[in-house]
């Protein structure tokens, strides 16, 4: 019988908030990761739509405009990718 490796994975039913700053985004993600890690998760999967809340940092007008919100989120990609890594 061969040994089995297992990994505990956490998935997020992630609520979209109207974040005011990038620091608020960092804090929110850190809280979610800390909670998952405290329950033994070694990997956490966030939904792809979670990044859309970052557009609110640029204002509600941007968040309400799909092309503008996509541009706003794209501008944060490097920083958010690094944070999730």
Q: How does DSSP classify residue 76?
A: T
Q: How many CA atoms lie within 13 A of 24 on its CB side?
A: 13
Radius of gyration of the chain (CA): 15
Q: How far apart are CA 2 and CA 67, in angstroms?
A: 52
DSSP summary character for residue 51: G
pLDDT at 20: 92
Predicted confidence (pLDDT) per residue in 26-58, tens digit: 999 999 999 999 999 999 998 888 888 999 999
pLDDT given for residue 1 in this prediction? 55
pTM for this predicted structure: 0.80
């Amino acid at each position: 019988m061969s040994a089995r490796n297992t990994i505990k994975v956490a998935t997020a039913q992630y609520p979209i908030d109207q974040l005011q700053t990038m620091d608020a985004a960092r804090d929110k993600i850190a809280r979610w990761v800390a909670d998952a890690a405290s329950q033994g998760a070694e990997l956490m999967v966030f939904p792809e739509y979670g990044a859309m809340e970052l557009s609110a940092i640029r204002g509600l007008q941007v968040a309400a405009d799909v092309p503008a919100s996509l541009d706003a989120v794209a501008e944060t990609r490097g920083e958010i990718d690094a944070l999730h890594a």
